A and B are shown apart, each in its own frame.
Chain A
Amino acid sequence: MKRLLVLFVLAAMVLGTAMAADTTIKILGTWGGQEADTFAAMTDAFTAKTGIKIDFEATRDLDAVLTTRIQAGNPPDIAILPNPGSLYELARAGRLVDLSKVLDMKAFDKNYSQGWKDLGTVNGKLYGLFVKAAIKGLIWYDPKNIKAAGITLPTTWDEMMATSKQIAATGVTPWSIGIESGAASGWVATDWLENIFLRLYGPDKYRDWYEGRLSWTSPEMKKAWQYFGEIVGDPTMAYGGSQYINSTNFGNAVAPLFQNPPKAYFHMQASFIQSFITDQFPSLKPGVDFDFFGFPAIDPKYSKAVEGGADIVAVFKSNPAVKAFMEYFASAEAQSYFAAGTGALATNKNVSLVFYPDPLTKRAAALLNKSEIVVFDASDMMPSEMNAAFWKATVDFVNNPANLDSILAGLDKVRATAYKK
């Protein structure tokens, strides 16, 4: 009896303290390691200024946790989504708050280009704030090795293939590719295809593609895959052949470039591969020991096109604390944390280039800001089922390029149902 009384009092005490006012914002995201540390530094600055606390939860199983919590009725206040596809799904389902009611849109328009604004807009309303960008489709190389081999950097696809064949003739594979990535295996290959497609057909058709209006079995689509097949389907072109490509984690696939003697010369990857290079080879200096050039042009009309990716911030519940935080999050001051801390590129165009830690990242940031045609990673724009099917299809394609027709037919089947949601 006495025990029960004690427990009752305890419960009452604790419940009582719980009823006290809370200014804590709950954020759910995928950021870990250094990203999380950087974000924590950023939010600590915010808490110091405003007294509003941030509770950040991170998991790489974001889909599962977010879906569960939304359906069970306790979504986070803010979520950092890894792709626009999820943003659009959630916005269309009515789960998100219109950001024009949260942010000062005048300040927003000054800081963000129309492109980033359009990407976050669904049915005329802004739902997503894009942060922490990366530029995709960069071709990485070791300048010393390139010089030693007497190679001039290609600017068109045909030049690149010719150079590749040249290198292959010396007995070394020109390319190193790795597309393994756990649950997202294949995304590297989708980046390849997206860059090829973009430079073949331009941004309008690119949009048709990710919005589901272009058939996967169309001759245009097939042609893009065949371009990719020139590299992955030829064992003399890619280090280790298809088995290596499918089994090697994307972070490790850049290593063959820096062996002595080099096992490969080119590696296509986004700007964030830098930290992976320095992790594996700490003595390498950006710009000196490794560098990048842009994806080669195919149709000269679209040679200035660039593909990017970013994380998206979406709001589930708005209140004054959330509003204050989002305002801060969108500011150049907050974005500079990411630029300095993780080498991510800022979407906010007013983040000064001085924040970037090295010349290569600065160059990448400048490239992103100045490119005329910037498109977003197409697979990320697709509904999640289509996205996953696309990833899986590239894995199957690398495994056996001869199956291209049936692979594309399978993708079309998914397209028939995936876009209905």
Chain B
Amino acid sequence: MSGAGSIRSPGGRAGRVSARARRAEGTVASPAKENAVNIILMLAVAVVGVPLLLVGYIRLSEPLAGRKPRRAALMRPWLWLAPTLVLLAVFLVYPVVATMVESLENADSTAWVGLSNYAAVFTSPDNLSALGNNVLWLVFFTLGTLLFGLLVAVLSDRVRYESAVKALVFIPMAISFVAAGIIWKFMFEFQPAGEIQVGTVNAALTAAVPGFKPIAWLVNTTTNNAALIAVGVWMWTGFAMVILSAAIKAIPPDVVEAAKIDGASELQIFRLVTLPLVAPTLGFVATTLMINVLKVFDIVYVMTNGNLGTDVIANRMYKEMFNYHNTGLASAIATFLLICIVPVMIVNIRRYRRGVA
């Protein structure tokens, strides 16, 4: 909105980003003046025009790459990757670099402090506790989601009501974090023993288990991390299930038939045929889950805000950045998160090399 607030005038280098934007979609500088026609035009251009534009672009890239096959083979990948690289550079790489620089500066980025922010990351008890929790998440969330996703994918493949099952398991993915927070606050509610139970989990356990004393799941330090991780697994199993299900269905039926003819049992088929063929996809899902869990934030923020030993590193970063305005420390935490990714990336490089070879 270039209303009362523009401090800088449009720069001469109107960036590749904005030029593309204007050409492709037509920049709306003041939404208050939009009307229905404008919007529909914009939408049509974006939804239809852009893919067409992209198709035109890759077709155009052929002559651009040149006639000589060797030069073309050299240039073509970069042409095809250009839009990706530009977008990633602007929205992700540039902030990462800026953050890394800020991690070496003080709270309001006015002076260099070297590595002292990193020292704080590793010595502050709050941060250490959060790091420990992230490890818990890394292990249990990933395992739990993979396990349940695989289980549902494999089992539902064999029943007629498969679509219904998959739809039900997938629903949590369609729910926003705010709604999920409310749902699980209801589930985990605590009333003292002997009172009417309003929380589903406590009510169910009180009814099913004689002598059960209600537990304050989100507050009790023994159960609160587990409760949050359970919510995470609940939300993401659908994701794992859909992808794993597609991979399972891609297994050529004749391989399975051959195994059956050889007299293999269901379990053996699963272990010796299904698993190995699904392994690459499992790796993909596991990688995605692990990377996402390093930055898990919403669930913890909405449900406990990290209190009573449930904090995670992304929540610490959020607090330092936005509540305490300690840019240096927040950036150090963020950079540390990025460094944690390196082992995951190394494993992936190896897998990639093996896969290509």
Contact = CB atoms under 8 A, between A and B. Distances in A.
- A–B interface present (Cβ within 8 A): yes
Interface of A: 3-4, 7, 10-11, 14-15, 17-18, 20, 22, 24, 26, 55, 61, 63-64, 67-68, 73-75, 77, 89, 182-186, 239-241, 243-244, 246-248, 263, 317, 319, 383-385, 388, 392, 395-396, 399, 418, 421
Given A67-B321, A384-B325, A18 B220 contact: no
Contact of B4 (A4, A68, A243, A317): A317
Contact of A18 (B2, B7, B41, B318): B2
Given A17-B33, A247-B216, A388-B324, A399 B308 contact: yes
Given A24-B3, A182-B302, A241 B192 contact: yes
A244 B322 contact: no
B29 A388 contact: no
A388 B22 contact: no
Nearest to B27: A11
Contact of A246 (B28, B216, B305, B325): B216
Interface residues of B, number: 50
Contacts of A55: 32
Given A14-B27, A22-B3, A384 B219 contact: no
B227 to A, nearest CB: 11
Contacts of B3: 22, 24, 26
11 contacts: A7-B22, A14-B33, A15-B27, A26-B4, A64-B318, A89-B325, A183-B305, A243-B192, A244-B191, A247-B188, A395-B308
Interface in B1-60: 2-5, 7-8, 22-30, 32-34, 38, 41, 45, 49
A399 B219 contact: yes
B190 A248 contact: yes
Contacts of A24: 3-4, 32
A15 B21 CA distance: 14
Given A240-B192, A399-B308, A64 B29 contact: no
A240 B302 contact: no
Contacts of B23: 4, 7
B56 to A, nearest CB: 10
B315 to A, nearest CB: 10
Interface in B301-343: 301-302, 304-305, 307-308, 318-319, 321-326
A73 B7 contact: yes
Given A14-B33, A17-B33, A399-B308, A244 B216 contact: yes
B131 interface: no
B301 A183 contact: yes
A241 B92 CA distance: 47
A63 B27 contact: no
Contacts of B4: 22, 24, 26, 77, 317, 319
Contacts of A418: 324
A384 B323 contact: yes
B137 to A, nearest CB: 19
B190 A185 contact: no
A388 B325 CA distance: 13
B219 A247 contact: yes
A61 B177 CA distance: 14
B221 interface: yes
A270 B41 CA distance: 52
Contacts of A392: 307
A239 B8 CA distance: 58
B299 interface: no
Given A24-B32, A240-B192, A399-B308, A10 B41 contact: yes
B307 to A, nearest CB: 5
